[in-house]
Amino acid sequence: MIMAGHFHLNTPLLESTGMSKRMGTTVYLKMENSQPSGSFKIRGIGHLCQKLASQSKGVVCSSGGNAGMAAAYVARQMCVPATIIVPSSTPQLVVQRLQDQGATVKIVGKVWDDANTEALRLADIEGLTYVPPFDHPLLWEGHASVISEVACSLGPGVKPGAVVVSVGGGGLLCGVVQGLRSVGWTDVPVLAMETVGADCFNAAVKAGKRVTLDDITSEAKCLGAKTVCQKAFECSQSTELNIISELVTDQQALHAVETFLDEERVLVEMACGAALAAVYSGVINRLQTDGCLPVSLGPVVVIVCGGSSVDMQQLSLLRQKLLD
């Protein structure tokens, strides 16, 4: 299961005929949902824990769910105890999955930022290794491997027309940017997707500085950091890069989750639905019409970030909340 030296897998890059047909351009799916622990988070968190936690008496991670799933998985492989602090907005199914991974789970506060304060406090008083979910250079370095794998899978001479990612606190975005730099693709536009109500990156881009949201009102709780990390904001300001920030509604993200389940037969959570909605809700096509992306676009790579905060029951709860 564990490939030499790291915890993550080299995931498939699959062509989606359904998405390609809609877009009029080839769309590739980077299937991070198939990572151990269910999301891309294992890349960065595996890397960080290998560097920082091998002598640790325990790790503590604040999470909307998926960073915690990765930390719990890695800690178990490393025979280190894990404490995961999640906010009360985290579905019970995630708490259960974390416990099944052998972690101690504490529910603190309403949103991730509250849980994080507690994680930092515990790390301090109990001497645990703090595992941040998105704001650390080792996480970005680990996440960057997703792009080198895409480059390998596409083969020499093929360059994406755009890469689509979801943004919570911005760790995945920073990793993708680092990966693009390492393979010489800084000119590839990155479409940074969030939901309305979990839109700290979009708010920062609009304000020209980092801002802290009053609250997280989106159901995409795993995108629910109130402030984007400094590095992600800096990437948005870089003239060398082309990062396009776009929002979709929760309804659009849910519709994307459902369409993806129907067409690709894969169930992902709302945080991932935000990225999928870039295709299903026509965001990319609109950007082409508006001249923000070329009409003749190279293959679009969607990072299917995955996520464990979903099952059929959670899906019908979301339907009731958002569609009734």
Residue numbers at the binding site for ligand PLV (CB under 6 A): 39, 41, 63-67, 112, 133-134, 166-173, 222-225, 269, 271-272, 305-307
Query: What residues pair up with 129 in beta bridges, in sequence order?
Result: 59
Nearer to ligand PLV, 151 or 222 (CB): 222
Antiparallel, parallel or unpaired: β 27-31 and 13-15: antiparallel
Task: Go through 264-292 and write b for each residue having 16 or more CB atoms within 10 A of its CB, e for each that does not.
Answer: bebbbbbbbbbbbbbbbbebbbebbeeee
What Å distances lie between residue 77 and 23, 50, 57, 133, 286, CA to CA? 41, 11, 14, 19, 45
Q: Is 17 helix (H, G, I), strand (E, B) or coil?
A: helix
Nearer to ligand PLV, 63 or 281 (CB): 63
Nearer to ligand PLV, 135 or 297 (CB): 135
Q: What burial class does residue 295 get, using C-beta atoms within 10 Å of its C-beta: 0-12 exposed, 13-18 middle, 19+ buried?
A: exposed
Nearest approach, Cβ of residue 205 and ligand PLV (Å) = 14
Nearer to ligand PLV, 169 or 189 (CB): 169
For residue 156, report the phi and psi dihedrals to the nearest 5 degrees.
Answer: -60, 140
Nearest approach, Cβ of residue 158 and ligand PLV (Å) = 25
Nearest approach, Cβ of residue 204 and ligand PLV (Å) = 13
Nearer to ligand PLV, 26 or 73 (CB): 73
Nearest approach, Cβ of residue 310 and ligand PLV (Å) = 9
Pick from 300, 320, 319, 302: nearest CA to 266: 302
Nearer to ligand PLV, 161 or 306 (CB): 306
Nearest approach, Cβ of residue 316 and ligand PLV (Å) = 20
Nearest approach, Cβ of residue 170 and ligand PLV (Å) = 5
Q: What burial class does residue 215 get, using C-beta atoms within 10 Å of its C-beta: 0-12 exposed, 13-18 middle, 19+ buried?
A: exposed
